[in-house]
């Protein structure tokens, strides 16, 4: 089997994502004489989920390479030391004796040792944990880096907590380079554990907390660091910290910074917060200005008059203004940015100043977010909307989000219209899945409340649609639908 290095990387990535067949293909590559070693190294350096997928795949009795796995089993049982790639497969074997023998022979595959430390067989588990502890004693930071991603990935398994608890303790009380390693690991679970331990034990300086609050990729970490930094600032009265947090990637941190500075008498950040993209930050700024006697709504009105408003300005006026401001916002239903149109709909809905005539044109907006917002706004009036107009929006020439909105609104026109449009779309390449799921939902929940049955032309139409849908729906569901609709044959 010829596989280039790039292809090996792609197979491992696909396995990590759980893509169908990827783990089986990766096992085949591990058995390859030319690429097995590279595949093994790539697998051990990849996301823990890739090795977990391989672990499941090797144990499947239906795996097409079962005979090759048995060869590895026999080799391990005989006392021979197979190549690393084969040892990885043996370490995932369904036979606990084979896994235990493989663990005893493993020395460099620490992620697999961490996985087997959560094994359901006590002998395998104890052997793996003993090996992990030996590595941690010998080179704590290096071993932690290799073990932690898998250990934290499987800690919720029945036997997965012990190694993770050991690593948690090492983060709290171990050498500084272990904590430093944990803070820099790509895996977010490990970084969360490292930041939590560092904060709780007071092992992180203010610079590190601010760096985490400003730039870590994980939202929870940013918030946790910001909270710890703010607590430090409150204790010392140092306003430098909240000023630095004004540019944090965490909205909660920005809001807390605005609040702290406003309490200290500095309302300039509150003014800037009026146009923040996140509602909680805007609300904090609005509250601070209200305490200071300033009029946030008036400021928003002035911003609307000056130029094409940012979406946050429209949202802010909706949050602080009154229904009398509706006329100021109506022109921005045609805002050049989709988010501006979305915020305009939200604000007008908050004041109950929207109408069918205003919202129907937005169902065909080129931006799916705008169509979804218009659909939500029309939901309460959906049964009054013109059915032929909505049916026209189901045309296959329309974008998917427009068709989905029409389908959603048509379902409010009564159960028979709902079933009819669903049946008409069961074979549709875009909406077929949604239509089939809704039919199942109606059979499971709605059918019991259907105290009448369709008659006349409506019954004839549904009968024809059921016949046309026979190739796309389960026969049992077709029979149930006919029974509930009174169309049994």
Give dist(CA 340, CA 314) in Å, integer: 7
Q: Mean of the pLDDT values across residues 46-55? A: 91
Question: Is residue 479 over pLDDT 80?
Answer: yes
Supply the pLDDT for residue 2.
54
- The pLDDT score that the predictor gives to residue 450 is 78
Rounded Cα distance, 456 and 458, in Å: 5
Range of lowest pLDDT (14-18, 29-33, 279-283, 307-311): 29-33
pLDDT of residue 201 exceeding 80, the answer is: yes
CA 257 to chain CA centroid, nearest Å:
28
* pLDDT band for position 3 (cuts 50, 70, 90): low
Sign of CA dihedral 124, 128, 131, 133: negative
Identify the pLDDT of residue 454. Answer: 86
Q: Is the pLDDT of residue 402 over 90?
A: yes
Of the candidates 100, 110, 102, the residue with the CA atom closest to the CA atom of residue 140? 110
- Contact status, residue 139 vs residue 110, Cβ threshold 8 Å: no
Say whether pLDDT at 351 is over 80: yes
Other C-beta atoms closer than 10 Å to the C-beta of 251 total 20
pLDDT-based confidence at residue 79 (cuts at 50, 70, 90): low
Helix or strand holding residue 450 (H, E): none
pLDDT on residue 136: 95
Dihedral sign (CA 164, 167, 172, 177): negative
Residue 94 contacts by C-beta under 8 Å, 6 or more apart in sequence? 58, 59, 61
Structure confidence by residue, pLDDT tens digits, 123-158: 999 999 999 999 999 999 999 999 999 999 999 999
Confidence class of residue 278 from pLDDT cuts 50, 70 and 90? Answer: very high
Residue 188's SS3 state is helix
Lookup: tokens for 420? 């009819």
User: What is the reported pLDDT for 238?
Assistant: 78
Q: Are 42 and 15 in contact (CB under 8 A)?
A: no
Domains of the chain, by residue range, sit at 414-489
Flag whether pLDDT at 387 surpasses 70: yes
Alpha-carbon distance of 413 to 418, in angstroms, equals 7
Give the pLDDT score at 285: 96
Q: What is the pLDDT of residue 181?
A: 95
Mean pLDDT over residues 475-489, rounded? Answer: 86
> How large is the average pLDDT for residues 49-53?
91
Q: How confident is the model at residue 93 (pLDDT cuts 50, 70, 90)?
A: confident
The pLDDT of residue 80: 64
Q: What is the pLDDT of residue 428?
A: 92
Average pLDDT, the chain: 89
Q: Which pTM was predicted?
A: 0.69
pLDDT of residue 344 exceeding 90, the answer is: yes
Is 76's pLDDT higher than 90? Answer: no
Nearest 5°: CA angle at 385, between 384 and 387?
A: 115
Q: Percentage of the chain surpassing pLDDT 70?
A: 95
CA-CA distance, 85 to 32, in Å (whole number)? 9
- What phi, psi does 160 have (nearest 5°)? -90, -5
Residue 87 has pLDDT above 70, yes or no: yes
319-342 pLDDT, tens digit per residue, is 999 999 999 999 999 999 999 999
On the 0-12 / 13-18 / 19+ scale of CB atoms within 10 A, 301 is: middle
pLDDT of residue 104: 83
Per the model's pLDDT, the better-predicted residue between 116 and 62 turns out to be 116
Per-residue pLDDT tens over the stretch 228-261:
888 887 777 778 888 888 888 778 888 988 998 9
pLDDT value, residue 65 = 53
Question: What's the distance, Cα to Cα, between the start and end of the chain in Å?
Answer: 57
Lowest mean pLDDT among 71-85, 346-360, 406-420: 71-85
Task: Reply yes or no on whether the pLDDT at 294 is more than 80.
Answer: yes
Q: What was the pLDDT predicted at 222?
A: 87
Q: d(Cα 427, Cα 433) in Å, to the nearest integer?
A: 8
């Amino acid at each position: 089997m010829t596989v280039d290095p790039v292809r090996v990387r792609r197979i491992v990535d696909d396995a990590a994502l759980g893509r169908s067949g990827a783990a089986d293909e990766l096992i085949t590559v591990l058995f390859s004489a030319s690429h097995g070693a590279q595949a093994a190294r790539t697998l051990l350096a990849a996301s823990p989920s890739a090795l977990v997928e391989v672990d499941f795949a090797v144990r499947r009795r239906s795996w097409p390479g079962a005979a090759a796995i048995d060869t590895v089993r026999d080799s391990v049982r005989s006392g021979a030391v197979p190549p690393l790639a084969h040892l990885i497969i043996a370490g995932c074997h369904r036979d606990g004796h084979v896994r235990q023998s493989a663990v005893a022979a493993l020395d460099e595959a620490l992620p697999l040792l961490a996985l087997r430390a959560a094994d359901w067989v006590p002998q395998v588990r104890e052997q793996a944990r003993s090996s992990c502890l030996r590595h941690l004693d010998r080179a704590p930071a290096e071993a932690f880096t290799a073990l932690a991603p898998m250990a934290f990935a499987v800690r919720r398994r029945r036997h997965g907590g012990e190694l993770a608890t050991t690593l948690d303790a090492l983060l709290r009380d171990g050498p500084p380079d272990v904590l430093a390693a944990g803070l820099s690991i790509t895996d977010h679970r490990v970084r969360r554990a490292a930041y939590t331990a560092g904060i709780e034990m007071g092992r992180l300086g203010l610079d590190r907390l601010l760096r985490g609050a400003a730039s870590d990729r994980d939202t929870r970490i940013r918030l946790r660091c910001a909270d710890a930094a703010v607590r430090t600032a409150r204790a010392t009265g140092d306003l430098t910290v909240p000023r630095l947090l004004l540019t944090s990637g965490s909205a909660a941190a920005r809001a807390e910074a605005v609040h702290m500075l406003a309490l200290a008498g500095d309302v300039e950040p509150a003014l800037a917060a009026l146009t923040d993209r996140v509602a909680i930050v805007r609300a904090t700024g609005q509250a601070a200005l209200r305490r200071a006697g300033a009029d946030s709504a008036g400021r928003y009105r002035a911003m609307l008059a000056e130029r094409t408003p940012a979406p946050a300005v429209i949202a802010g006026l909706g949050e602080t203004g009154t229904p009398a401001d509706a006329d100021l916002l109506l022109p921005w239903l045609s805002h050049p940015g989709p988010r501006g149109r979305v915020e305009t709909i939200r604000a007008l809905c908050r004041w109950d100043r929207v109408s069918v005539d205003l919202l129907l044109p937005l169902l065909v907006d080129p931006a799916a977010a705008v169509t979804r917002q218009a659909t939500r706004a029309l939901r309460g009036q959906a049964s009054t909307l013109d059915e032929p107009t909505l049916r026209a929006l189901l045309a296959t020439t329309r974008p998917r989000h427009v068709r989905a909105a029409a389908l959603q609104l048509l379902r409010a026109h009564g159960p028979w219209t709902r079933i009819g449009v669903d049946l008409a779309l069961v074979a549709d390449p875009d909406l077929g899945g949604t239509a089939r799921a809704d039919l199942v939902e109606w059979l499971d929940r709605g059918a019991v409340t259907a105290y009448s049955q369709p008659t006349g032309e409506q019954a004839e139409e549904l009968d024809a649609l059921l016949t046309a849908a026979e190739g796309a729906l389960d026969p049992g569901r077709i029979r149930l639908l006919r029974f509930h609709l009174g169309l049994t044959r």
